Structure 1
Amino acid sequence: MSSLPTRQRLSEVRYEIRGELARRARELESQGHKLIKLNIGNPGAFGFRAPPHLQNAIIGDIDHTDPYTHQQGLPAAREAIAAAYQRRGLDDVGAEEVFIGNGVSELIDLSLRALLNPGDEVLVPSPDYPLWSAATILNDGRPVYYRCDPDNDFLPDPSEIETLVSSRTRAIVLINPNNPTGATYPRELLQRIIAIAARHRLLLLVDEIYDQVLYDGARFEPLAPLAGDVPCLTFSGLSKVHRACGWRVGWAVLSGERARLREFRHAMDLLSALRLCANVPGQYAIEAAVNGPDTISALCQPGGRLYETRRAVIEACDESAHLQLVAPAGALYAFPAVIGDAAQGFDDHAFALDLLETEGVLVVPGSSFNVPYRNHFRVTLLPDAVMMREVFARIDRALDRRAEQHNKVVPLSAKQRRTAG
């Protein structure tokens, strides 16, 4: 019997974060193997909890959560989000411009479905969070990648972005702070990208889910207030800053010249209505989240858990003969490069599988983030520092074995190379 055919464009979609390697990890766990899984930015899996004032907000209103709500979300929650963005300088936004979804993931899909006709193009960063590419493809669009080069601290070149604009280009995606690299975008860079969108009448799609996860004085610049009348859709939610991934609460805020956005806003509203509404209980935590105390900054400062884990990763890469790292300025990830003898003939997917099988560590191959090179991998910063040092000891052990295949002499570490120089 022939197999049931599926949508052909699915063959173009990659999502290795939960793909083949994750399936192999589950097989190993079922056989009794203990693994350290660093493939998903899932705070609850590493002992983080949503803040008590968010939990209490849901508990206090649980009796009100049985009915459907408005397709754009609870009015009070949308008003609270709008007020929060007004405090950031987005003066002309109200509850009608806010859409609440089942996480940012659903809203990314809805927005691209509202925007794209077959063959339309979306400018996407490389590396990207692969959902952006997948959602573009599955909504019959074409992702066109602009480079965020490691030699430029993973920041894009606006001049290159503009060369990629065609008659079919509809939008520019920005992820700031960036997943997977941790780069944060300076104001002047954002202004140059906004100017490109203005010249070519493009929509800015801005993923700011990690907006408050910042290290070592890094500054976050919200894009929408800078964009002014340029159409912009800003995404955020409760999953990362507020450590509530499983609640599936995200939002998108539409800003810019209203006359230009009228049809797009209607399309977003229609698509939101077709799925009835987003999960209701989690929406009752939004007002408490955007108006409540800051519970993330302490975790990102010296002595805080995320900061100390990040420090452990930076030190491990600095001491390794095989790794090079652009230190993440924000978000929950590091994106090291494999260098030297260990990098000869390196295939990131094969390495990730070997690391899983031999050392019990699950990472995501860098090429999963739609880059042309194959010598990077991504880890999440959510384990504690002690566990992360153990992780990188195992990674170095696996890379030592690779290097020995090419050179019997162990090369100098990055720190030793600097001292020698």
Structure 2
Amino acid sequence: MEKRWKFNKKCEKGIIKSVEKRAMTVKATMGMLHKQLNPDDNRSVIPLGHGDPSPFKCFHPPVAAVNAIVDALRSTRFNGYRYPTDFPSAKKAVAEYISRDLPYRLSESDVCITVGCNQAILATISSLSSPPGSNILLPMPTYPTYDACSAVSGVEVRHYNLLPTKEWEVDLHSVEALADDNTVAIVIINPGNPCGSVYTHQHLENVAKMAEKLGLLVIADEVYEHMTFGDTPFVRMGTFALKAPVLTIGSISKRWLVPGWRVGWLVTTDPNGILQNSELMERIQAFLDLASNPTTFIQGALPEILEKTKDEFFSNANNILRQDADIIYEKLEKKIPCISCPHKPQGSMFVMVKLDVSLLDDIEDDTEFCLKIAKEEKVMILPGSTLGMKNWLRITFALEPLVLQEGLERIEGFCKRHSKKV
């Protein structure tokens, strides 16, 4: 008789199926699209579906950051095992960096250093799974890592709407309708991935008032902090922490253009001490104590990276993103009938656009559109279905302007070729 191993039994909660159903990750989707590429097509791939601008020369990291890493390695002080408590200088540097934008000062005790933002998200979501039956409010469209982490952690997800006709603002009415006694937190992504939105001071204050009314923790995903190039400046959600406690998720991945360095943070902004009276931060710290830490030399270099990077570097990167945003908005809004752009992106490096498949032949939906354009044009675009928005597309514009223009020309040619004949 065949022996049955206990670990081979099907999980009662169906965690794997739950993750597959609720959130197909960006990585998995991009892998699927890469399989469509034609090896006989000698043209270069145009990566309009990625979130990594680092391959392009115009988006190389600042010299100060590279020197900080080199100095940390050469010092030989960061070659051994270390623990999060061994890096108070890194935590202090992050606290001072975040405090620049707040009406009050944070301390190193308010900071946890993480392996990029994804670990910060998983640590936070898993710590919210108690008590059982908890639910969390996520935006739609969303960043699918939140859905995946919630599925693994057993936290129910409820999606509130973002309003494309109002520059992707939070639909506060849908938030209030979704929340109940088991709702523990709301996630706010600003600047917006995938929408390219930047929320005003007034809108964020309205969100904080709503969180205060409903008794919710605000999880502020600010990985694209200060990457703005429109009329609305970046405002930290922590500015309104007197109304509701805020957990800020951030990293150097995007603003410093080094996503592969994998260092981020979780920052508590809680002037009323609400979180100190709960077990949430203890659970987060317990999770991080069991998990891998960022590499030691990255943590050792972090204070110098945050302190010595010049404003000129950030302004240059934002100027290129502004130019790219102008290029993509002009092309998509005026030259390609089957794609419409609700508004010009104001921040981050993404834009959500609406795909009208009724104007296209032999293309049923956004996923088929992305599969076929990858095969025929070597253009990679993320289907909106991955983010919960069927027949939308998320397009990255953080490329060399000339490469971006070539990618848009290929999209235009593809759409003309597949347009319905009148």
Normalised by the length of structure 1, the TM-score is: 0.88
Query: 1:10 corresponds to which residue?
Result: 19
Query: 2:28 corresponds to which residue?
Result: 19
Alignment of 1:47-62 (within 5 A): 47=57, 48-62=59-73
What is the alpha-carbon root mean square deviation over aligned residues?
A: 2.4
Query: 2:95 corresponds to which residue?
Result: 82
Q: Distance in 1 between the 2:245 and 2:265 partners? A: 17
Structure 1: 5+ residue stretches without partners: 409-421
Are 2:72 and 1:65 aligned?
Answer: no
Deviation at 1:281, TM superposition (A): 1.8
Once the two structures are superposed, residues 130-174 of structure 1 have per-residue CA deviations (whole angstroms, 9 ceiling, x without a partner) of 111111111101111111121222111212211111121110000
Once the two structures are superposed, residues 49-92 of structure 1 have per-residue CA deviations (whole angstroms, 9 ceiling, x without a partner) of 22111111111121122223333672101101111222222525
Kindly indicate whether the alpha-carbon contact (under 8 Å) linking 1:127 and 1:369 is maintained by their aligned counterparts in 2: yes
2:328 is matched by which residue type in structure 1? V
Kindly indicate whether the alpha-carbon contact (under 8 Å) linking 1:355 and 1:395 is maintained by their aligned counterparts in 2: yes
Deviation at 1:30, TM superposition (A): 6.0
Moved more, 292-301 or 118-127: 292-301
Deviation at 1:221, TM superposition (A): 1.0
Partner SS state of residue 318, structure 1: helix
Alignment of 1:16-415 (within 5 A): 16-26=25-35, 28=37, 34-47=44-57, 48-62=59-73, 63-71=76-84, 74-117=87-130, 118-228=132-242, 230-256=244-270, 257-262=272-277, 263-275=279-291, 277-292=293-308, 293-294=310-311, 295-301=313-319, 305-320=320-335, 321-325=337-341, 326-339=343-356, 341-342=358-359, 346-371=364-389, 374-404=390-420, 407-408=421-422
Q: Distance in 2 between the 1:24 and 1:378 partners? A: 14
Q: Distance in 2 between the 1:154 and 1:107 partners? A: 25
Q: Distance in 2 between the 1:276 and 1:213 partners? A: 29
Identity value in percent: 23
Structure 2: 5+ residue stretches without partners: none
Partner SS state of residue 419, structure 2: helix
Moved more, 10-19 or 189-198: 10-19
1:131 is matched by which residue type in structure 2? T
2:27 is matched by which residue type in structure 1? R
1:314 is matched by which residue type in structure 2? Y
Deviation at 1:214, TM superposition (A): 0.7
Q: Distance in 1 between the 2:255 and 2:111 partners? A: 19
Moved more, 6-15 or 127-136: 6-15
Q: Note closer, same or farther for the CA distance 1:343–1:71 as it changes in structure 2 (3 Å cut).
A: farther
Q: Distance in 2 between the 1:259 and 1:401 partners? A: 58
Q: Distance in 2 between the 1:280 and 1:387 partners? A: 36
Once the two structures are superposed, residues 374-401 of structure 1 have per-residue CA deviations (whole angstroms, 9 ceiling, x without a partner) of 2211121122121112211211222223
Q: Note closer, same or farther for the CA distance 1:147–1:389 as it changes in structure 2 (3 Å cut).
A: same
Moved more, 330-339 or 10-19: 10-19
Q: Note closer, same or farther for the CA distance 1:363–1:283 as it changes in structure 2 (3 Å cut).
A: same
2:123 is matched by which residue type in structure 1? L
1:194 is matched by which residue type in structure 2? A
Q: Distance in 1 between the 2:94 and 2:354 partners? A: 38
Deviation at 1:259, TM superposition (A): 4.7
Once the two structures are superposed, residues 192-211 of structure 1 have per-residue CA deviations (whole angstroms, 9 ceiling, x without a partner) of 21112112221100001111
